[in-house]
Amino acid sequence: MTQERELILNLADWIERRKDHLSPSYADHIIHTVRHYEAEIEALQSQLAKAREVKPLIWESDPHIQEEGSSESALTQFGRYFVKDSMWWGPQVIVSTGYGSNEVAKAAAQADYQRRYTAMSALTQQGDG
């Protein structure tokens, strides 16, 4: 729990314990408002966590590679990933070989994408750092 959230919860609890020293309607209003914003903060944090989840790459046949054999590619915000003949390559990656099958190469490309996405999310994350 962040210090801000802890402070908000402590404020609501503090007001609730001292209700008899405040006008009851004012104290109830403050407590209700603080609890409302706490629920809203939790909902927004949940949405943010879902937005940061790494989505699986969507592979499509790639007509740009004219050599024999099947080739597929997946477009991402970092650039395009390619899989062909049990190897993959992508943004700032020359060629990564030796995977035994296109499916295993796709999994390796997905892992690379996940590392990049996680790193970018950490760099662009605001408020919690």
Based on the fold, state whether residues 120 and 66 are members of the same structural domain. yes
Q: Out of 7-11, 38-42, 48-52, give the one with best mean pLDDT.
A: 38-42
The chain-wide mean pLDDT, for the chain, equals: 80
The whole-angstrom separation of Cα 113 and Cα 128 is 24
Based on the fold, state whether residues 47 and 67 are members of the same structural domain. no
Which pLDDT score, from 0 to 100, does residue 84 have? 87
Q: What is the pLDDT of residues 57-73, one digit of tens each?
A: 999 987 766 666 678 99
Identify the residue whose tokens are 């996405």. 117
Residue 129 located in a structural domain:
no
Confidence of residue 104 (pLDDT cuts 50, 70, 90): very high
Based on the fold, state whether residues 82 and 98 are members of the same structural domain. yes
The token pair at 63 is 């007509």
Cβ atoms of residues 30 and 15 within 8 Å: yes
Residue 65 located in a structural domain:
yes
Q: What is the pLDDT of residues 45-58, one digit of tens each?
A: 887 777 777 889 99
- Residue 112: domain span: 60-124
Residue 42 located in a structural domain:
yes
Confidence of residue 129 (pLDDT cuts 50, 70, 90): very low
Instruction: Count how many domains the chain has.
Output: 2
Contacts with 5 (C-beta within 8 Å, 6 or more apart), sequence order = 38, 41
- For CA atoms 38, 44, 49, 50, give the dihedral sign: positive
